[in-house]
Structure 1
């Protein structure tokens, strides 16, 4: 039986998942080693605390987050196999079934070895960032990156656990704007101040983890969780080399970028952080090394007090020991905690010293804002607290003070507090008067001639917001500012936008695709701040591009011109003209085939031509060699001879000759000496074999025979 609910060891959830030993206990769940009896494989089973499983809204949102986490498929992410609700007579158990990683956590490796060598630290962080990058690409934010959630298994396996659970808790309204949710030693400043974070919050936490691997301890410690949170918001993380001399400056710079208090100065997400990590590793010539599985696991002594739990997936203890490391928290004045066992020593390289709160917890933002835990007590340098250690038994002892000294200290403290209040009120009144007087206004700097980067910096320094507008300019070089709105020297409200006109240099003739329409080409030219014009004299014939489509521009693409310069658009005139073939003397069929093959449409008519054989081409119109554009009218008139050949009837009887000539459509006249048509033909006109018009008259000379 644990302090928050029933111990499920030995139970079977949904008739499938057999619960075995406890792996870890957290503030929101208990993680068990289990067996999927259907597939006969070992699994890790995370069972939600009964306080949350009784909340229907939380269960519904937890199911949605579990499904989202299950969609993440990455070798460095602990896989989610199943999710369900086991109904029992006493209460419902909401659970997740996950991949079981036999080994330990990065926390145990740090307890075992202290600070890690640079190659090992980078070899651990690279797969962690790869996993977080996959989650960021899927629109998810881990929000609780810490050594306890980085699992190390055999075969060089490094995996990130607990995706989506913290998001489900916050969505279920278990926290609010007045609550800080997370592990204070790794919280980003924006998560402390507003509770809102994105992928850059995970980058900050990963940067803190890298600092801790390099130095053996986190950068900030304190007497209370809120004092550590204060340090994250108000102090810059120191370079790791200050704690461990010899760390390369490139790694110092990488840690400082990742842990910048300004999210905009950090890498945009874990993928960008990983890219920078790989560049630094290559520059330093550091090779990837195997990651050892932790062999020594610290087990805290048993306790019955209300220890602050770590986050889900925290450092797994031995099955029989308490699950999480206890961190001493200094309560507000007037409250006392039950004495309990001291925290375990931290085997860092410097030996001893607290490492700061490690558990996922909900802290009061009201207390943080009030300054109750405004400054870490006695922690003048990260990881080097100066407060005296707490002896076993949980209470500090010091010299006994007499009542007079005690009262004197109280009076002095009251005087200091009242002086501070008066000073703050005066400051508030002064700042308010200044703000409502001249403080709201600032002068717009003169940015003309500056580079756009310098202009942005100058505006930000003047508490103004730059709005860049890139435009072409005939005389101002590329990237330089040529005007602002309002103009330089004008007064503007702090935080207002200033339009900054940045030169794009001279316009450039754009690239146009061959074959686009004239309207499309004109639009591209106009978008480049140039003027399109038509010059039909530049149009060209093209076998491939249809008439009226664009062949190109003059001048050619890439040419710099003044704003409004004229660019001539060259169009296609379609296929070039084709000359009419010479078919004179060819037969009718030959001429038709020749013209048709050349793309023309022959129009044949007959005409008599003396001396030209019937069926032969006399001429064409247009004449041979004339060039014609093949379009809608491709007709060529073909004139063919219709001459007929006069038969030779000399020596034949007149009546036979007449009959044959008339059958051939000739008219016949007989010229007889004696007026008789008897006899034989001794002459004819036209002579036999002559080519004449159809229907021509043939005169026969008759010599009578008596």
Structure 2
């Protein structure tokens, strides 16, 4: 590292032993000589300190992080760029947290159980919520960046440093704008991140607190990132059987691949977590702290990078002291044994108290669940959701509904919010959509057709004007329906039955009234009678014809007679 121990940075900060080392920085235990207080000093790698773009971004992100004033966020006191040595030293001065990272606690304890997991995540979300309120996004929420002190304080560290590295082009193997095990799908796909990306990472963190391991693993970072984009995070209860359905649902909501489906920010997720904890009556337990015997050995501090921070032995490296020391007196042995037995006794009491609390929670409320909101959900999804809540979907009843699509749940019995013992049955009422006109065969009796229409939830109608002649369908039976079979109709809507009148009779001959044509010329009379469908015969009253277009002086049938079309009218001419 470019800043040796015992160096004085900015004529103020004295570097002590190395506490932790990551891929981009080394963290020292240090002293603020001006205020005479212990601090943690993160010194960036020389290759980053020499990059002007990184230095500019680093200073901007450090100022932003210093704005966060919250007990669950590591305080940033100062940042500097010391150029008094052979190469620049870029550093960040932070609050010194005496303890270990959450990663170390998980490594020592494994899964934390529901009460402890809720206690840890509550504090993590509190810190993130304050950052989100200020418009800041962490982008790399993970156990390595969560510190737990020996007194039970939980603090989120390293706001903005991932962005500083990535936007300055300082990415390296193992860093893809964050850590792949906790990256949101949008960070993998587009590199963008907002408060909902931190919510996704917090959901992954909750999964790991409950199960002891993150949901996705793989041989390469790319394979893990690919799973975040394409796979749904499984329910924690598949690994840890004591996880209630409500926490399963919270994890699945926080880690939805669609950012719009997640809580809007850490504050919203924190509110949901507290509601679930209150509803389940999760006992309040202390945050699990790292073993106290690590206080003098290591001080792990989170650093940027996929692999996180590796804790190093405390103290300045040097020759090992001799182990050939005189044996302590007997009273010292006795005192040590007494302290050891006292510590063991306290640990046993705490374990028993925790077991009793968890057992009481299970016997009191853990066996209980409640009917989730199911209205509008498809039947198959509702059955899965009930299973997630520890309930069983009974045989569903179906009914028509004008608004809900087919297969959607209309109601649940017992209704939403009802507390039930796990394993109880919930009966669903499912929509079959709008009723459809039944298929009625031509020739069906009217009474039968009307009953079929009623059975379909519709109203049969029939009027004399709806009857039609039909050569094939017997008189008095149904020809068809209007609307046609298969068409959706509002519940109780009318369906007209078109009834057959039998074979259509032949048409009646056309009858016309014979007009008066006397006085007209023969040609005019013939034309008029032809228009009415009557034929004509012209005969002269004389044995000879005086002109080619004589005048009509008589007609038979006479004017006004009603005759069939085609009747012959005799015209007498002169």
TM-score by length of 2: 0.52
Q: Contact 2:2–2:87 (CA<8 Å) still a contact in 1?
A: no
Write out per-residue CA displacement over residues 243-264 of structure 1, whole angstroms, 9 at most, x where no aligned residue. 1112111111111111111111
Q: 2:152 aligns with which of 156, 163, 170?
A: 156
RCO higher in structure (CA 8 A, sep ≥6): 2
Looking at structure 2, the residues matched to 118 and 124 of structure 1 have their Cα atoms a distance apart, in angstroms, of 10
Structure 1 position 114 matched with structure 2 position 110? yes
How far 1:321 sits from its partner (Å)? 11
Q: Contact 2:77–2:94 (CA<8 Å) still a contact in 1?
A: yes
* 1:399-478 superposed matches below 5 A: none
Q: 1:169 aligns with which of 138, 162, 165?
A: 165
SS of 2:176's partner is strand
Structure 1 position 10 matched with structure 2 position 44? no
Write out per-residue CA displacement over residues 465-523 of structure 1, whole angstroms, 9 at most, x where no aligned residue. xxxxxxxxxxxxxxxxxxxxxxxxxxxxxxxxxxxxxxxxxxxxxxxxxxxxxxxxxxx
Q: Contact 1:112–1:297 (CA<8 Å) still a contact in 2?
A: no
Q: Which residue of 1 aligns with 2:255?
A: 259
Looking at structure 2, the residues matched to 311 and 227 of structure 1 have their Cα atoms a distance apart, in angstroms, of 14
How far 1:154 sits from its partner (Å)? 3.2
Looking at structure 1, the residues matched to 200 and 194 of structure 2 have their Cα atoms a distance apart, in angstroms, of 10
Looking at structure 2, the residues matched to 92 and 43 of structure 1 have their Cα atoms a distance apart, in angstroms, of 21
Q: 1:97 aligns with which of 93, 99, 102?
A: 93
Structure 1 position 68 matched with structure 2 position 50? no
Q: Contact 1:241–1:248 (CA<8 Å) still a contact in 2?
A: yes
- How many residues are aligned here? 317
Q: Which residue of 1 aligns with 2:309?
A: 314
* 1:554-565 superposed matches below 5 A: none
Structure 1 position 137 matched with structure 2 position 133? yes
How far 1:292 sits from its partner (Å)? 2.9
Structure 1 position 38 matched with structure 2 position 20? no
Q: Which structure 1 residue ranges, 5 or more long, are not aligned?
A: 299-307, 323-448, 458-706
Structure 1 position 49 matched with structure 2 position 45? yes
Looking at structure 2, the residues matched to 72 and 226 of structure 1 have their Cα atoms a distance apart, in angstroms, of 33
Q: Which structure 2 residue ranges, 5 or more long, are not aligned?
A: 296-302, 318-401, 409-574
Looking at structure 2, the residues matched to 119 and 107 of structure 1 have their Cα atoms a distance apart, in angstroms, of 18
* 1:169-188 superposed matches below 5 A: 169-175=165-171, 180-188=176-184
Q: Contact 1:43–1:100 (CA<8 Å) still a contact in 2?
A: yes
Q: Which residue of 2 aligns with 1:214?
A: 210
Superposed CA RMSD in Å reads 3.0
Looking at structure 2, the residues matched to 113 and 230 of structure 1 have their Cα atoms a distance apart, in angstroms, of 29
How far 1:309 sits from its partner (Å)? 8.5
Looking at structure 2, the residues matched to 192 and 281 of structure 1 have their Cα atoms a distance apart, in angstroms, of 32
Q: Contact 1:239–1:255 (CA<8 Å) still a contact in 2?
A: yes
**Cα pair distance change 1:315/1:267, threshold 3 Å:** farther
Q: 1:125 aligns with which of 121, 127, 130?
A: 121
SS of 2:177's partner is strand
Write out per-residue CA displacement over residues 435-457 of structure 1, whole angstroms, 9 at most, x where no aligned residue. xxxxxxxxxxxxxx859xx9xx9
Q: Contact 2:158–2:304 (CA<8 Å) still a contact in 1?
A: no
Looking at structure 2, the residues matched to 194 and 253 of structure 1 have their Cα atoms a distance apart, in angstroms, of 27
How far 1:312 sits from its partner (Å)? 9.0
Structure 1 position 291 matched with structure 2 position 279? no
How far 1:182 sits from its partner (Å)? 1.4
Tell me which protein shows more helix as a share of its residues.
2
Q: Contact 1:47–1:96 (CA<8 Å) still a contact in 2?
A: yes
Q: Which residue of 1 aligns with 2:186?
A: 190
How far 1:291 sits from its partner (Å)? 1.3
Looking at structure 1, the residues matched to 246 and 128 of structure 2 have their Cα atoms a distance apart, in angstroms, of 22
How far 1:288 sits from its partner (Å)? 2.3
